[in-house]
Amino acid sequence: MGKPRRNSRATERDLARLADGTLEPGRRELVERSVAGSDELQSRLRHQRRAVDAVRAHRGERAPLALRLRRRAIGTPPARRGSRVLGLGLAGALGALVWTLAALGGGQAALTVADAATLAARPATATVPEPPDDHPTLPRLRAAGLPFPYWEDRFGWKATGVRNDDVDGRALTTVFYRSHGRRIAYTIVPGSRLPVAPGAATITRSGIVVRAYPDDRRLIVTWLRRGHTCVLSGVDVPLDTLTALAVWRGHGAVPY
């Protein structure tokens, strides 16, 4: 391993690997010494690191829900083909081989709480009617037979809109609430309980078990109402607030 030469491809490779931390230790010492003695190499390394940092900062970008749903649709086989056998010829280093394979099978990934929570980032598609005075639930708005709570008078969260989505054969209803410029989304997912992220915290309040976990800047809480999964989430909304909203029974009008 020699000293890096300016403007050589070897120098470029050294700098690229030094910038992202993949340069082997022995080589790294040599290159770092060279960089320390050269303003030009320092500048080039700064550029490398700036680009690396910029790209890595966006590695948390997730595929949107619409794409997740489309992928599921693609990944679902149209019909079970049983044990039908296909022949697939492959030319490779080992020579021509014929593989006997079971037909493309398998199912689809299950809908999760995290998937349902991504609906919070989608727009509402309809407005929400105001309830009569002192009524703790929103009128004419139910999912799986369950009403959505009216939180404005008690907590200051005004229901601003609603959207409906069909996901994996389930009719998801999401109501959006707003307070002081912050927005939260409350989704009811009919059917069997959705899996929650491993490591989610468990909180029991007012006899109701709430699971909570962060997803990037969004805080997600989930619990069950009559066996159906409810998901409430918001950005920059404290856990206590979300939990208090989640377990509010509305004087018995919000069934659990």
Partner 1 sequence: MPIAADHALSGHAGVSSPARRLDPNHLGDHLDRLYRAAWALCGSREDAEDLVQDTYARVLQKPRMLRSGEDLGYLLRVLRNTHFSRLRAAARRPRADPLPDELDRIQDPSASAPEAALDTSELYALIAELPDPFREALVAVDVVGLSYREAARALRVREATVTTRLYRARQRLARSLGDERSTPAGTSA
Binding footprint of partner 1 on the chain (CB under 8 A)? 7, 9, 12-13, 15-17, 19-20, 22, 40, 43-44, 46-48, 50-52, 54-56, 58-59, 61-64, 66-68, 70-72, 74-75, 86, 88, 90-93, 99, 101, 103-109, 120-125, 160-161, 176, 181-183, 185, 216-218, 234-236
Q: Kindly list the distances between the CA atom of residue 202 and the CA atoms of 13, 194, 208, 255, in Å, as whole numbers in the listed order.
A: 48, 15, 10, 21
Q: Smallest gap, in angstroms, from Cβ of residue 182 to partner 1?
A: 6
Q: Amino acid identity, residue 225? A: R
CA 242 – CA 69 distance, rounded (Å):
27
CB-based contact 220:111 (threshold 8 Å): no
- Yes or no: say if 85 and 101 are a contact pair by the CB < 8 Å rule: yes
The nearer residue to partner 1, 147 or 234, going by C-beta atoms, is 234
Using the minimum distance from each CB to partner 1, give the nearer residue, 144 or 242.
Answer: 242
**Shortest Å, Cβ 78 to partner 1:** 11
Q: Least CB distance from residue 149 to partner 1, whole Å?
A: 20
Q: How far apart are CA 199 and CA 192, in angstroms?
A: 21
Q: Residue 152 or 224: which CB sits closer to partner 1?
A: 152
Strand order across the beta sheet in which 158-167 lies: 158-167, 170-179, 182-189, 228-235, 218-225, 208-215, 201-205
Q: Which is nearer to partner 1, 18 or 196 (CB)?
A: 18
Closest approach of Cβ 252 to partner 1, in Å? 31
DSSP string, 131-144: PPTT-SEEEEEEET
Q: Closest separation between CB of residue 206 and partner 1, Å?
A: 27
Minimum CB distance to partner 1, residue 253 (Å): 27
Q: How many CA atoms lie within 13 A of 222 on its CB side?
A: 26
Closer of 60 and 199 to partner 1 (Cβ): 60
CB under 8 Å to 210, separation ≥6 — which residues? 202, 203, 204, 221, 222, 223, 243, 246, 247
**Partners of 158 in the β-ladder:** 178
At residue 161, the 3 state secondary structure works out as: strand
In whole angstroms, the minimum distance from the beta carbon of 209 to partner 1 comes to 26
Q: Which is nearer to partner 1, 15 or 210 (CB)?
A: 15
Dist. CA 45–CA 67, nearest whole Å: 37
Q: Give 40 or 240: the residue with its C-beta nearer to partner 1.
A: 40
